[in-house]
């Protein structure tokens, strides 16, 4: 009974309620034989599909399976590059202001654990995308210092605004410090595009994907529309578009 109640409740949340409302509207318009009912039904179907886990996982899995996560002890690198993934400015943190978003926080934890396991320097790549944003690298650097990382082991690129700039500016910093075998840490859904752009810059990288989104389990809840699942579907679509743009030389 508990699971049934939760399942019903999920349909009353904003996204589930919107899908239901649009579905009822499409059915009503169909009964009235209104013009455009097919387009409305198509919009409802697409919105519903992108909001359920089986479809979102289907979109994400090819991106996330492009590179396997190597064993830490098998890594042969001389620097760990962590790519930015979003930051929230102006909010309080334990020892300062600004916090990393979900994707960036997962990348941060992975990079920190690799740093402690391998003893390699960390290059934090990511600046302000918009003028009012916080610098991702600056926030991550403050967090690393508060967790005991040595200041001498932390390098920052605070100019990058996208993945292409991550690659270009990281290359310059690597060359300045004599690093030739960078380990690149980013979300698994983002790794294919990141690896392409870094290798286009001539860097011999080892991809280290993390922050996986595509699950393997299927349950009753997998077919309830969820905002977080819709967001993951949008991330996947954005990556396919971004990868196509990069390969076409538009990034």
- Per-residue pLDDT tens for 50-87? 899 999 999 999 999 999 999 988 999 999 999 999 89
Torsion of CA 63, 75, 101, 53, to 10 degrees: 30
Q: Above 70 in pLDDT, residue 9?
A: no
Please check whether residue 188 is in contact with residue 209, taking contact to mean a CB–CB distance below 8 angstroms. Answer: yes
% of the chain beyond a pLDDT of 90: 59
Q: Above 80 in pLDDT, residue 3?
A: no
Note whether 204 and 231 are same-domain residues.
no
- Per-residue pLDDT tens for 150-169? 999 999 999 999 999 999 99
Average pLDDT over residues 206-234: 90
Please check whether residue 56 is in contact with residue 233, taking contact to mean a CB–CB distance below 8 angstroms. Answer: yes
The model's confidence at residue 2, banded by pLDDT at 50, 70 and 90, is: very low
- Residue 63's contacts (CB-CB under 8 Å, 6 or more residues apart) are 188, 189, 190, 191, 192, 236, 239, 240
Mean pLDDT of the chain: 88
Distance CA 65, CA 63 (A): 6
Look at residue 251 in the predicted model and tell me its pLDDT.
77
159 is a domain residue: yes
Q: Are strands 206-210 and 87-93 parallel, antiparallel or unpaired?
A: unpaired
Domain containing residue 55? 1-65+225-248
Distance CA 167, CA 184 (A): 10
Look at residue 16 in the predicted model and tell me its pLDDT.
60
219 is a domain residue: no
pTM above 0.85, yes or no: yes
Domain CATH code at residue 96: 3.40.50.620
220 is a domain residue: no
Note whether 20 and 122 are same-domain residues.
no
Q: For residue 229, how many C-alpha atoms fall within 13 Å in the half-sphere facing its CB?
A: 23
218 is a domain residue: no
C-alpha separations of 226 from 53, 76, 206 in Å: 8, 40, 34
């Amino acid at each position: 009974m508990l699971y049934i109640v939760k399942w019903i409740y999920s349909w009353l949340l904003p996204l589930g309620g919107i899908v239901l409302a649009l579905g009822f509207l499409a059915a009503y318009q169909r009964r009235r034989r209104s013009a455009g009912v097919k387009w409305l039904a198509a919009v409802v179907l697409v919105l519903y599909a992108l909001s359920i886990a089986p479809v979102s996982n289907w979109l994400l899995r090819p991106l996330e399976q492009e590179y396997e996560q190597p064993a830490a002890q098998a890594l042969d690198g001389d620097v760990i590059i962590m790519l930015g993934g979003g930051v929230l400015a102006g909010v309080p943190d334990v020892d300062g202001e600004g916090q990393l978003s979900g994707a960036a926080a997962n990348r941060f934890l992975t990079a920190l654990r690799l740093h402690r396991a391998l003893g390699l320097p960390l290059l934090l790549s990511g600046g302000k995308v918009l003028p009012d944003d916080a610098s991702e690298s600056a926030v991550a650097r403050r967090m690393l210092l508060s967790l005991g990382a040595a200041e001498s082991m932390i390098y920052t690129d605070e100019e990058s605004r996208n993945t292409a700039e991550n690659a270009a500016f990281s290359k310059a910093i690597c060359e300045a410090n004599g690093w030739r075998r960078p380990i690149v840490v980013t979300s698994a859904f983002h790794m294919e595009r990141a690896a392409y752009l870094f290798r286009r810059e001539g860097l011999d990288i080892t991809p280290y994907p993390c922050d996986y989104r595509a699950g393997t389990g299927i349950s009753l809840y997998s077919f309830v529309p969820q905002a977080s699942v819709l967001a993951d579907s949008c991330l996947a679509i954005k990556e396919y578009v971004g990868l196509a743009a990069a390969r076409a030389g538009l990034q």
